Amino acid sequence: MASRSIVYVDDDPACTNLVGHRLRSRFDYAVETTDNGERALEQLKANDVDCLVLDYRIPGEDPLSLLDEAISSQPDVPVVFFTGIGDPETADAATDAGAAAFVQKGPGGVDALADALDEQLGD
């Protein structure tokens, strides 16, 4: 099976590098990373992307507006939040707004993210 294409948006370069590397090497995803919501939307529109993964806190970005733009642009591409925010209200707001999943960073977080991606992508 060809690897799935993921765009991962996070403003923390260490997290972006670590998560991107793990998804590429351990889970065989093709991962493009960026720290900017606008660039992510451009990648989403210009490329064949299977899933968009967003951090909930990106400076200068409203996560729910970014989610809405992504869904409006590519309604068949699931959007998964991968974030350090763990409160249920935030998770509920994201999923109510159309996020396919809300995964918390931390120990085991990349494995949980891979599980969410597999679930969304039917792997």
Cα separation, 94 vs 63, whole angstroms: 8
Long-range contacts of 66-72 (CB under 8 A, 24+ apart): 66/37, 66/40, 66/41, 67/94, 67/97, 67/98, 67/99, 68/97, 68/98, 69/41, 70/40, 70/41, 70/44, 71/98
Tens of pLDDT, residues 62-96: 999 999 999 999 999 999 999 988 889 999 999 99
pLDDT of amino acid 2:
53
pLDDT of amino acid 72:
95
Report whether 4 contacts 47 (CB < 8 A). no
The residue among 123 and 94 whose pLDDT is bigger is 94
Tens of pLDDT, residues 5-35: 999 999 999 999 999 999 998 888 899 999 9
- Answer yes or no: is pLDDT of 1 > 50: no
Query: Is 5-121 in CATH node 3.40.50.2300?
Result: yes
Q: Which are the contacts of 121, defined by CB distance < 8 A and separation ≥ 6?
A: 4, 50, 51, 78
